[in-house]
Structures are given as C-alpha cells and as structure tokens.
Structure 1
C-alpha cells in the first residue's frame, strides 16, 4: 500500500510542476513581473487547500461519528455542509473582492481555512465541530468563486491552461487528503483529531503568496479584460477600465443550465467524498484500503483536470465531454451496487472520471461569458445556485442509508441524478454567452 502512494505522489506533483513551468515560459515577456508569478503560486497553493477539509473528514468519518456520538442523519448533514456554506458564502465573494481586492479576500479565505481546520477536531461537541467546519468552508467558498475571476483577469489568453492548472492542483490536494489522512492519524498516535488538524499547516502556507499582493487591487474584479495587440503577450496586471454594466444573469438560459449542472455534479462529488469510503468499508474493505480507494477516485482528476479544460477550451461545444463523463458515472454506480468489493478499483476509477465534471464546469464558466465582469457574475450565480441545489443530496443519502440499512436506495438515487446532470451539461455546453442572451 505505501508503495502505491509513493508512486502516485511524485507523478502528480511532477505534472503540477511541469504545467506551472510551461505557463511561466509561455508568458516570459518583458512585461511579466514577479507579481504575476506570485499569482500563479498563490493560485496553485490555494487550489491545493480547496478540498482537504472535506476529503480528510470523509476518510475518518466513522471515527468522527464515534468520537462525537453522531447519528447517520447528522453525519449526512455534516457531509452536506460544504454545499450549504458554498451557496451562502460564495455569493458574497464578488462584492468582497470589489471592496477589498481579490488578493485580500483570497488571503483571508486561506486564513479562515487554516483556523477552522486547526480548531474543529478539539472542540468536543457536534455543534462546535459544525461551527468550526463552517469557518473553514467559508474560506473555501469565497476562494472557489474567485478562482475563475482571477484567471480571467490575469490570464485572459490562457483560460484553459490556468483553469487546468488549478483544477489539477485542487484534485491533487483532494487525493492527498483522502490517501494520507488515515495513515497520518496512525502515525500521530492513532488520533483522528491529529489526522484532521494536520491539514491546517498546508492552508497556513497558502496565506503567504497573497500577502505581498494585498495592496494590489488592480481593476475591479469583473471589469472588461484589456485589449491585447499580441495574443501571446501578457500584461503585468490588468489595466484599469470602467466596469461594464451588471448583467441580469437570471434571464440567461445558459446560466441556469450551468447552475443546475454545477449543482448536480457537486451533489455527486460530495456524496462520493463523504460516503464512498464508508460504502467500501461496509462491503468488507479494510479502512486503509477504503481510504486509498477514495484517493484513487480523487487522484483521477489530477491529470484529467489539466487535459479536460484545455480540450474543452478548443471545442465550440462541450456536450460530447459531458456525455462521456456521465456514462462513466452511471457505470460506476452500477458496479458499486452489483459488486462493491470485487470491482472496487474499477468503480473508483470510473467515479474519478465522472467527477472531472467539476473542472469542465469551471472551464465553461470562463467560456460562457465574454468579459471578466460577466465571468464574476456567472461564477457567483452558477456556484451559489448550484451548491444550493446540491445541499439535500448528501443528507438524503445518510437518511436512506440509516433507514434502509444498506446502500441500494442511496446508489439508486446517485444513478438517477446522473441523468439530469448529463442533460443540463449538454445544454450548458452550447456555444453561446450570457451577455448575448441577457441582451436579447
């Protein structure tokens, strides 16, 4: 088991390093400064911290439930908290960024993640654990929304590459937390508290790149990207321009399709992160192997999170990619129902492929709007509405699991939700922009 993790980690880290180096060299012009490189470093480190708060908990959910005396329904509520917090706090991100600057908000978000992760394992009660988790998830929520905005603002000519880079880093952090948390807890005195709180250190490191950028507010997030005379060149920072008028985003059918697609893929992702390890453990798979299977599901996104956005950015329509990912999800859920232990590795791989709908959705956010302000509004609307849609899913899975005593009904629910997810993704992938739709 250790040898497998050892083989996976260097390969994944190497991909992130190679992608970052390629981006730096591609834009290595006299206009590029240390500030742009700091943004790249900040984006990568921040992305690494956007999921460990969730997948580390999924790997140790049984121990947390026992330690805090949680019921199945309460555990379902805990696994649905990411969606709730992302919906409630994510909508605040564009306004906060306009007032304080995106770097300051990202810095505060990383600090909130570090504080919440450091505190929550030691609070001693379910209510306090939920409150500390909410603090960490609030930091993740604002960072989630601002990532596409920062990419559109600083790298408008390389949306696919930069989205792929931070999606790959996000997947790497997700997989690392799933794979390492259980053995880490064992090394640290067989304490689930230590295994969870250790991830606060990574978030604290992610605060540092944003500190020198706190005073740099640049253009208002959401302002129109500056015109460029040469597509290959990049500016040190975007020029100040008057912001475009706000869009009536709710009048856009594409915005609604993207929001529903985002919500349903989030439902699938958080059910997977919160419950798949428990599904394997209930099927007789050892706890350490179940955590590794969760890591395999997450690590599938590391290479594909870089490939899929680049491929999607080159296609006028992203519907075919949506169909492939949806078919993988349907096959994975079917396998979990029929032979959860016998085909565990195959089902983990298929669900990992299906979860790559997340970087695809982020890429479509950047492609379905022409301006940075449009991307900011679309990102906030799609993510906040989408996460609201995804709230009931993990809770319902917990309730169905507890009431039925098995995984048949929960897996049927997951299978059924994959069908409208695929339909909405097909609609969101059509070649149109929210500016055009709201103008009509």
Structure 2
C-alpha cells in the first residue's frame, strides 16, 4: 500500500501553511530530540501510520458492497420478498436517507469516543447488518437490518476525510485518492462477483448477500489497536469545535481558530459543495440500484448486467486515484466537474437510444461520470483550512447532500412502474446533470469556508 506514495514524502511533515493545531497533530507524540524529529520518524509512529493506511483501505472497501450487491440481485430480492417497483425504489433510497440521518452524528461521536473507535464500531455495524438482513424475514426486517449496516457506512463516510486530514495533512490528495480507489474497488467487486458467487453457493440470494459481512469483519481488525493507543490524532478526544487536542497546549491564534466553532451554513461554498455532493450521490445511487435492471430489461443476461455495473464501478479505481491528485494541483476544480458531467450526458443518451447495443460504452462513460464522488471528497479537504473546518464541512456536505439525494432513486422506481419503461427515468437522470455541473463549478472555486463564514 505504501507503494502509492513513492513519489511523495514517506513520513508526515508539516508545511508552514498548515495551522498550528494541525501542525501539532502531525507531530510524533514522543521524540528523543529536535534533531531526531527532523531526521526520522520513530518506529512506533511509522507502524501506526501503516496501520492507519490499512484501516483506511479496508474501511473504504466496505462502504459500498452492501448497496451494489443488492443492486445485482434486486430482481431476486423483489421476488423473494414480494416487493413492487415503488417499494424497490424506496429500498434504493434507504442508503442516502441513512447517510443523511446518521452522518450528522459522526462529529459528535468522534469528539466523544475518537474517530478510530467510531469507525471500528461502524465496521461492526456493517457486518452485523449484512449477516442479519437476508434472514430476518419480510420487507420491514430487511429494511431495518439494512439501516444498521448503512448506519455504520454513514459515520465512516463522514470520518474518512477527517482521518486523512488529521493523519496526512500534507498528502490529502494522495490519501483521498487511495481511499476513493479502494472504495471503487469494493463497489465494483460486489457488483461483479455477487451473481456468480450466489450461483456457486447454491443459487440462494440470501447467502449471496450475507457473505459480504466477512469483509466487514476483517476491516474491524486494524482499528482495534488504534482505539487502544493513546495520544494519537485518531484516539485523542477532540475539542468542542471538532478538532483533536494536541499533545501539548498551544496558545497560538491558529490553535484558537481550530477550536472555535464554525457557522458552516454561512458559507456559500459549503452549500454549493453540499448540493454538488447530493446530486452526484443521486446519480450514483440510481446507477447502483437500477442500472443492472435497465440492462436486464433491454435483454442483457443477468450475469452480463452485473458485469456492466461492475465496469461502471471499477472505472473509479484508477480515476479515483488520478482525479484527487489532479484536483489538488488546480486552483479551480470547475474544468474537472464539466468534463465528468459531459461524460454523464453521453452515457445517459446512449442508455436511452441503444441500451443493449452500446452497453459497454455507456457503462464506461457513466463510470467516468460517477468519479464526481472522489472529486467531492477532495474538495471537502481543500475548501476548509483547519481540522475543525474539515470535520464540520464533511458532516454538513455529506449529510445535506445525502438528504438531497433521497428522492432520486425512489422517483426512478415510481416513474419506471407507472410509465412502463425507462425513457422518463433516464431523462430525469440526464436532466440532473445540469445543476450538478453548475454547483460543482461554484464549489470548485479557490476559497475556504472559514473565510466565508467569518466575512458574513
């Protein structure tokens, strides 16, 4: 995993532009001397850094299989539980609803227990929910168990950018890319493997969904020693404003600013980023929940439809590493927003005109368009100057964004059932790309939410 950083620093250093509180967080808790601090990283710190990277990657792998594995088997689940199209649309709207509701809790939980403990508990919730939901019986039980897994995903979603900013303040682009790439890999793997794995396990859709709990169980392991370790940026209790307490008290103005509460709703950039996040999430969850069904209704076999969904998701593996690094090198991320939006338009047009004939091309184009997600995560880290700002902006943008995205998958299900085809749903998807591009360009401007909140 460390190979991704061969072109950059292999230890955490502190840039003069990083505020004093973040600098304090980036320092090793114990140093033999000032000279030793400049020359090398103590072995304990190096080991902890590798453990954090492993935890980030394994967590990211678990943040979407609960959703894409269901998308691949949605028809079987609908038949098994007796769902209508509208109820299935409600089921595909549950993820953003849970992300919006439970994501708000993440900063408060992180201040109380530490980010590592919250993410560790989140992985446990994911594993428990995935084991239970296929076997509890009935649609209501399926939804409740799904909500438990999605609660774990929600808090981890919010805290991943926070962990990256605190532990790797000078490598936000690289680490966000690594995290996003792992997330895309987990998303694609669940879409591609679930159908053939279900067949190999006897054709029971319940077993095919439950098996993904094993991946969540593995992700718990690296967080356990991080929870037990004291004095690290992941285990130290955060200050009231959402910042982690430094090992030693600081009286600088930067530290006071870090701990001060931020009125995030006064920032236009925060609102633009929240809406951008919501619209890209709408497109992503419509794709994960319905794209395989669109291809199956066009005559594509179920296994191939799952592979097409996997292709769409796997496009995020290389691009999720490239886009954040590119974004951090540009003063304005608007051009990337526009390029991704145009790919979305082309993919939806093809899906409308020739869904089966050009299926692989449309899957590729929509996969590129879905890379607005790692771009949004990167902008969360770039649009806030302080650690406290990243905590609040991440929670606000993701919770508000997921709240915005709730109606999309449900509306697609309703339109599909009542129109008898995919014309209107695809037109809706394409139409939503216009406001996504507009607010994405606004969110990509070079400014910080702290400056905007203070100026109003």
TM-score by length of 1: 0.91
- Equivalent pair of 1:171/1:299 in contact (CA under 8 Å): yes
CA contact under 8 A between 2:111 and 2:242: conserved in structure 1? no
* In the alignment, structure 1 residue 172 sits paired with structure 2 residue 172: no
Deviation string 1:309-329 (CA, Å, 9 cap, x unpaired) is: 000011110000000000000
Q: Write the distance in 1 (CA, Å) between the matches of 2:130 and 2:102.
A: 18
- Residue of structure 2 equivalent to 1:420: 435
How many Å separate the matches in 2 of 1:358 and 1:175? 15
Unpaired segments of 5 or more residues in structure 1? Answer: 1-15, 227-236
CA offsets 1:134-183 (integer angstroms, 9 cap, x no match): 00000000000000000110000000000000000000000000000000
1:71 equivalent in alignment to 2:84: yes
Report if the CA contact (8 A) 1:53-1:136 is conserved.
Answer: yes
Moved more, 27-36 or 115-124: 27-36
Contact 1:79–1:394 (Cα < 8 Å) also in 2: yes
Q: How many Å separate the matches in 1 of 2:2 and 2:199?
A: 30
Q: Deviations over 1:270-301 (max 9, x none)?
A: 00000000000000000000000000000000
SS at match of 1:308: helix
For residues 219 and 314 of structure 1, what CA distance do their matches in structure 2 show?
33
**Structure 1 position 21, deviation (Å):** 6.8
Aligned to 1:108: 121
Deviations 1:165-221 (A, max 9, x none): 000000000000000000000000011111100100000000000001113322627
CA distance in 2, matches of 1:196, 1:22: 39
Q: Counterpart in 1 of 2:353?
A: 338
Tell me how far apart the structure 1 counterparts of residues 260 and 178 of structure 2 sit (CA, whole Å). 30
Q: Distance in 2 between the 1:144 and 1:201 partners?
A: 20
For the 8 Å contact 1:156–1:225, the answer to whether it is kept is no
CA distance in 2, matches of 1:240, 1:40: 28
TM-score w.r.t. the length of structure 2 is: 0.88
1:19 alignment counterpart: 4
Note if contact 1:250-1:256 (Cα within 8 Å) is conserved in structure 2.
yes
Aligned equivalents of 1:194 and 1:17: distance in 2? 35
Q: Superposition pairs for residues 31-430 of structure 1, below 5 Å?
A: 31=42, 32-215=45-228, 216=230, 217-218=235-236, 220=238, 243-430=258-445
Instruction: Could you tell me which runs of 5 or more consecutive residues in structure 2 were left unpaired when the two chains were aligned.
Output: 13-38
Deviation at 1:305, TM superposition (A): 0.3
Contact 2:107 2:242 in 1 (8 A): no
2:448 is the counterpart of 1:433: yes
- After TM superposition, the runs of 4+ consecutive aligned structure 1 residues lying more than 4 A away are 20-24, 221-226, 237-243
Conserved? CA contact 1:24–1:37, under 8 Å: no
**d(CA) in 1 for partners of 2:202 and 2:347?**
35
Distance 1:170 1:430 in 2: 26
Q: Deviations over 1:36-71 (max 9, x none)?
A: 211111000000000000000000000000000001
Contact 2:130 2:209 in 1 (8 A): yes
Which digits, 9 at most, give the CA deviation of each residue in 1:329-388, with x for residues without a partner?
000000000000000000000000000000000000000000010000000000000000
Contact 1:218/1:239, CA 8 A, preserved across alignment: no
Quote how far apart the aligned CAs of 1:435 are: 0.4
Cα distance in 1, alignment partners of residues 158 and 247 from structure 2: 19
1:11 paired residue number: none
The verdict on how the C-alpha distance between 1:88 and 1:39 changes in structure 2, with shifts beyond 3 A counting, is: same
The corresponding residue for 2:20 is: none
Q: How far off its partner does 1:23 sit?
A: 6.9
How far, CA to CA, are the matches of 1:65 and 1:23 in structure 2? Answer: 48
Q: Which residue number in structure 2 is paired with residue 30 of structure 1? A: 41
Tell me the number of residue pairs that the alignment of Structure 1 and Structure 2 aligns: 415
Rg: which structure is higher?
Answer: 2
Deviation at 1:33, TM superposition (A): 2.7
Shift of 1:394: 0.1
Distance 1:349 1:177 in 2: 17
Indicate how the Cα distance of structure 1 residues 133 and 169 shifts in structure 2: closer, same or farther if over 3 A, else same: same
